[in-house]
């Protein structure tokens, strides 16, 4: 197909925009750094030098089903906010009012999720987002899929704290990295609240082990 840029060409074009020290100039005027929600003061802030292009993408954790956690299933003692025969929803330790992770029980990544699971993922995404947003400490549920660490599909549902307007938008994770930990009893109560509402909305099994 014509017009598609190779990894080498993309990297070379970005590197050509960097200075002699390999750093891109820090854009503050027409970039995220100009947003009022940008979490950092700009004095002294600079980009790390660009790394060379890697020879290949490194393998991720659990790249094949044989290497992944999923053939053994979720241990029965594991905390689950909600589950059914095909999906599990866990409440992760963190700093935000809710940090939940949704995974299929069978080995798939986002790009190879069968259509029936993809359709169910849409319904679940709506139900989980609504449940997270019903927490009194949450205004908005943010969604994320990175897929650079573990190969097994895992979606993040992140509760943006209500009325903390600096935490809006994509800098939420930068703030979350610096906030104090969410107390574990609060994490469990929030997970149970979310799981119960998801069960009310779509069926399946409510909170377990919490
Ligand atoms: Zn897996």
pLDDT of residue 77: 83
pTM reported for the whole predicted model: 0.94
Measured CA to CA in angstroms, residue 147 lies from 45, 144, 154 at distances of 28, 9, 7
Q: How far is the CA of 72 from the centre of ligand 1 (A)?
A: 9
d(CA 50, CA 59): 21
Q: How far is the CA of 137 from the centre of ligand 1 (A)?
A: 33
| Confidence tier at 28 by pLDDT (50, 70, 90) | confident
d(CA 74, CA 61): 17
pLDDT at 114 over 90: yes
Q: How far is the CA of 75 from the centre of ligand 1 (A)?
A: 14
Percent of the chain past pLDDT 70, that is, above it, reads: 100
Q: Which domains does the chain have, with CATH numbers?
A: 8-56 (no CATH), 76-202 (3.30.428.10)
Least confident of 2-6, 25-29, 86-90, 101-105: 25-29
pLDDT of residue 135: 98
Residue 65 near residue 107, CB atoms below 8 Å: yes
Residue 143 near residue 156, CB atoms below 8 Å: yes
Answer left, alpha or beta for residue 154, where phi above 0 means left and psi between -120 and 50 means alpha: beta
Pairing relation of β-strands 138-144 and 99-104?
A: unpaired
Q: Which two tokens stand for residue 115?
A: 């259509």
Give the model confidence (pLDDT) of 123-140 as tens digits. 999 999 999 999 999 999
Measured CA to CA in angstroms, residue 124 lies from 31, 131, 169, 210 at distances of 34, 10, 22, 20
pLDDT of residue 29: 85
pLDDT, mean over the chain: 96
Q: How far is the CA of 91 from the centre of ligand 1 (A)?
A: 19
Span 73-86, mean pLDDT? 93
Q: How far is the CA of 150 from the centre of ligand 1 (A)?
A: 9
pLDDT at 74 over 80: yes
Q: How far is the CA of 106 from the centre of ligand 1 (A)?
A: 6
Q: How far is the CA of 3 from the centre of ligand 1 (A)?
A: 35
Span 86-102, mean pLDDT? 97
Q: How far is the CA of 78 from the centre of ligand 1 (A)?
A: 16
| Confidence tier at 184 by pLDDT (50, 70, 90) | very high
Q: How far is the CA of 39 from the centre of ligand 1 (A)?
A: 35
Q: How far is the CA of 153 from the centre of ligand 1 (A)?
A: 8
């Amino acid at each position: 197909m014509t017009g598609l840029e190779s990894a080498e060409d993309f990297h070379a074009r970005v590197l050509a925009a960097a200075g002699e020290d390999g750093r891109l100039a820090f854009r503050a005027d027409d970039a995220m750094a100009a947003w009022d929600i940008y979490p950092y003061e700009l004095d002294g802030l600079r980009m790390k030098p660009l790394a060379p292009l890697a020879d290949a993408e490194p393998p991720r954790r659990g790249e094949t089903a044989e290497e992944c956690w999923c053939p053994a299933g979720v241990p029965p003692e594991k905390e689950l906010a909600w589950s059914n025969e095909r999906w599990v929803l866990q409440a992760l330790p963190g700093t935000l009012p809710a940090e939940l992770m949704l995974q299929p029980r069978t080995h798939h990544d986002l790009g190879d999720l069968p259509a029936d699971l993809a359709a169910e993922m849409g319904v679940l995404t709506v139900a989980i987002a609504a449940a997270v947003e019903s927490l009194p400490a949450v205004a908005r549920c943010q969604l994320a899929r990175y897929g650079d660490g573990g190969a097994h599909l895992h979606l993040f549902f992140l509760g943006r704290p209500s009325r903390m307007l600096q935490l809006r938008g994509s800098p939420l994770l930068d703030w979350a990295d610096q906030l104090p930990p969410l107390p574990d009893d609060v994490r469990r109560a929030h997970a149970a609240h979310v799981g119960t509402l998801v069960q009310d909305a779509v069926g399946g099994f409510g909170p377990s082990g919490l």
